Amino acid sequence: MSQVYAYIDENMKYDINVLTVSFTYSSDTSADDAIAQIDHMVSLADSDSSITFEAHEYDLYTMSPYNNSLVNTDE
């Protein structure tokens, strides 16, 4: 496991800590599928009192340039 970069955010507006985690998927996994998998994993933790995070959200999904099937061409 790699070292986690930690710092104090002097601009933080709430008394919370935030850990950013990256999950890696095959290039044929859409953002919707990845989000569904994470939501499912989080739901499995609901009954485990040792897991204490307050919320989760999705900020960024980086896609491979080698799989054009995931790119939205409707724009």
- Are 39 and 9 spatial neighbours (Cβ–Cβ below 8 Å)? no
Do 38 and 56 meet the contact criterion of CB atoms below 8 Å apart?
yes
pTM more than 0.75: no
- Residue 73 is part of which domain span? 1-75
- pLDDT, tens only, 8-59: 999 989 898 989 899 999 999 999 999 999 999 999 888 888 999 888 898 8
Q: Number of structural domains, the chain? A: 1
Answer left, alpha or beta for residue 59, where phi above 0 means left and psi between -120 and 50 means alpha: alpha
